[in-house]
Amino acid sequence: MQDPKSLVREGYDRISRNYRGDTFDFEASGYRQFLSELEPLLKPSSRILDLGCGCGVPIARHLARRHDVTGVDISEVQIARARSLVPNARFLRADMTEAAFPDGSFEAVVSFYAVIHVPVGEQPALFRRTAGWLASGGHLLVTVGHRAWTGMEEDWHGAAMYWSHADAATYRAWLEECGFSILSERFVPEGEGGHTLFLAQKT
Ligand SMILES: C[S@@+](CC[C@H](N)C(=O)[O-])C[C@H]1O[C@@H](n2cnc3c(N)ncnc32)[C@H](O)[C@@H]1O
């Protein structure tokens, strides 16, 4: 199999618009619910990092209305679209496992449906680095796997795609080992399976 990261990068370069158009009804979407627990905890102009930000719609666009948003994505096409769709945020094209920020750079880190594309063996170190990037008391809101699975599909929205994740109990343990306390854990159904949404706080 092709290197998973280049497969994911090339896949999103190809299917960026199939996955998400330029417009999106945030208020009617599941993202509204995801953010409803985090947003009341944030002061205006909080520094927020969105890992695997995609084209910036709807999350960066929504958060950048009140906050200072940085998005990171491995796909050049996603980042180019994000820069044009959300001009009031900043975007970096990078593998989130290789991104570097000074300790305490953010009040919150969010990541939706993106860590599940990172090979599972690299994910504990990513959470450790994420904890470092957060200011003390900062929050992490992240969708991760519900059941452990690593594999690929040949044609997902028009491109080959790769996913890799642990189960919810493993994520809970990893987050706690990295110094997070779990504020909430929710199953987010999708098709016959689903994801886990964690809201955690750096203690
Ligand atoms: C399913 S999309 C979700 C996009 C956005 N978070 C949302 O919910 O609309 C997953 C995104 O994660 C990005 N991604 C996957 N692996 C990544 C990695 N190692 N580093 C940075 N971004 C990655 C992909 O390029 C893609 O834009």
Name every protein residue with a CB atom under 6 angstroms from any ligand 1 atom.
Answer: 5, 8, 12, 20, 52-54, 59, 72-75, 78, 95-97, 112-114, 117-118
- Give CA angle at 197 (52, 159), nearest 5°: 40
- pLDDT for position 1: 73
Tokens encoding 130? 């994420």
Task: Read off the pLDDT of residues 63-111 as tens digits, 9 standing for 90 and up.
Answer: 999 999 999 999 999 999 999 999 999 999 999 999 999 999 999 999 9
pLDDT surpassing 90 at residue 43 = yes
* pLDDT tens readout for residues 122-173: 999 999 999 999 999 999 999 999 999 999 999 999 999 999 999 999 999 9
Say how many Å lie between the CA of residue 112 and the centre of ligand 1: 8
The 3-class secondary structure across the chain, one letter per residue, is CCCHHHHHHHHHHHHHHHHCCCCCCHHHCHHHHHHHHHHHHCCCCCEEEEECCCCCCCHHHHHCCCCEEEEEECCHHHHHHHHHHCCCCEEEECCCCCCCCCCCCEEEEEECCCHHHCCHHHHHHHHHHHHHHEEEEEEEEEEEECCCEEEEEEEECCEEEEEEECCHHHHHHHHHHCCEEEEEEEEEEECCEEEEEEEEEEC
Residue 110 C-alpha to ligand 1 middle, in angstroms?
12
Number of domains composing the chain: 1
The pLDDT assigned to 87 comes to 98
Specify the pLDDT at position 139.
Answer: 98
pLDDT for residue 2: 85
Average pLDDT over residues 42-57: 98
With tokens 């880190």, the residue in question is 109
Smallest CA separation from ligand 1 atom 8, residue:
112
Domain hosting 132: range is: 4-202
Peptide bond into 40 cis (omega under 30): no
Tell me the best of 7, 31, 53 to mutate to test the pocket of ligand 1, counting ligand atoms within 8 Å of each CB and taking the most: 53
CATH code of residue 49: 3.40.50.150
Question: How many whole angstroms separate alpha carbon 94 and alpha carbon 26?
Answer: 25
Using the atom order of ligand 1, give the atom closest to the CA of residue 54.
27
How far, in Å, CA of 33 to CA of 36, rounded? 5
CA 24 distance to own-chain centroid? 17
pLDDT of residue 171: 98
